[in-house]
Structure 1
């Protein structure tokens, strides 16, 4: 079951936590969450430990080499949705139309394509949750989720019982069932930290309003023309602001 897929322009813990909480509003808070050592997951880890309790595997970090379904989902996600954008961005960069070192280009890329990527992720998630699984006698992930909720209610599973009634605290009976090598701290190791920073809007409020009024980012299905037009507009505005700044300095 794919609970959420969220496109973001940074990997801050607050961004990840907000997306996670959106998923819990629809499907409930899980009993346990397993993640890698990414710094963006610390907010989710803190929430899970506070909500479900410590020393019970509420938040498990580390590699999971046996989760074949998630690996299959990532492969299908790339093939069905994100590979299109990967190829498109590669083309723009190799053709000299996109400069990854130019913050104006990067902001325009986010402005035009993040909504498109998010729509693709939404379509994929809806399709994934409704696709039939051969190993589950043709049932879909959504059907398995509902059947599991109905079957396991009252059996001491926190993530399920909390959506029906309050259940007593339970301990992990079989660590192998959850793929736990060892329970580690929420904070990631130094060598695991990857920082993806936001790109600030290069336009002032007036110029941004003009951009919104003159350019319909939905008018171009693939978004290339919208990106090139917005980049040209933003660069002209930035150049004009620089000229005005120099004139004010001289005066």
Structure 2
């Protein structure tokens, strides 16, 4: 089940927490969350501990290179959505049209492509959640979620019961094994910590309004022409 997929221009804790909240508003607060050691997850961890309590594994941190479903999601995410943008941005960089060290170029890239990336992520999430599963008699993850909610209410499952009444505390035996799916084969990878900083808009409010009137960022499908037009406009002012 894809709870949320959110494109962002930074990896601040506030950004990650806000994205996580969209998922909890749609599907409820899970009994526990597992993440890597990235600082962007600190807000989510604080929320889970405050909401679920301490000393019960409300927020578990650790490397995600085991056979976990999240590793499969990253692979599907690239294959089904982000590989197109990866190839496009690589071409722009190799052809000299995109300079990653130029803040104007980076702002224009975000301005034109963030909404496009988000649309691709939304299509992927909705498609996966409504995709019929052969091993579940043709039911979709969304159907399984609803059926599970109805069937397991009152059975002591924390993420479900707290929507109706207070559930008893629960514990897990081994935090290191939580969330691992042994049936998914995933090649191990090195854990890399990446810092993604905000890029300030190079335009004042008046020039930004002029840009919106001059360049329609939805005017071409791939967005390359819009990106180049944005760069030209920003350089001209």
What TM-score comes out, normalization by structure 2 length? Answer: 0.90
Trace 1:67-78 onto structure 2 (pairs within 5 A): 67-78=67-78
Q: 2:203 maps to which residue? A: 203
CA RMSD of aligned residues (A): 1.8
Answer whether contact 2:64 2:71 (CA < 8 A) is retained: no
Give the conservation status (yes or no) of the 8 Å contact 2:37–2:61.
yes
C-alpha displacement of 1:80: 1.3
Provide the rounded CA distance (Å) in 1 between the counterparts of 2:192 and 2:40: 11
Name the structure with the higher helix share: 1
Q: For residues 203 and 170 of structure 2, what CA distance do their matches in structure 1 show? A: 54
Structure 1 unpaired stretches of 5+: 181-190, 238-251
Paired with 1:153 and 1:45, the residues of 2 have a C-alpha distance of 25
CA distance in 2, matches of 1:162, 1:29: 9
The corresponding residue for 2:42 is 42
Query: What is the deviation of 1:47?
Result: 0.3
Work out whether 1:138 is the aligned partner of 2:128: no
- 1:21 matched to 2:25: no
Which is worse superposed, 30-39 or 125-134?
A: 125-134
Q: Which stretch has the larger CA shift, 169-178 or 69-78?
A: 169-178
- Structure 1 residue 171: Cα displacement: 2.8
| Equivalent-residue separation in structure 2 for 1:165 and 1:128 (angstroms) | 31
Q: Please identify the structure whose Cα radius of gyration is greater.
A: 1
Alignment CA distance shift 1:192-1:213 (3 Å): same
Q: Which residue of 2 aligns with 1:154?
A: 154
Partner of residue 10, structure 1: 10
Note the alpha carbon deviations across 1:78-99, whole angstroms, 9 max, x for none: 1111111000000000000000
Partner Cα distance (2:63, 2:99) in 1: 34
Contact 1:6 1:118 in 2 (8 A): yes
Alignment partner of 2:9: what SS? coil
Could you tell me which runs of 5 or more consecutive residues in structure 2 were left unpaired when the two chains were aligned. 181-190
Report how far residue 148 of structure 1 moved.
1.6
Counterpart residue number, 1:172: 172
Runs of 4+ residues over 6 Å off in structure 1: none
TM-score (norm 1): 0.85
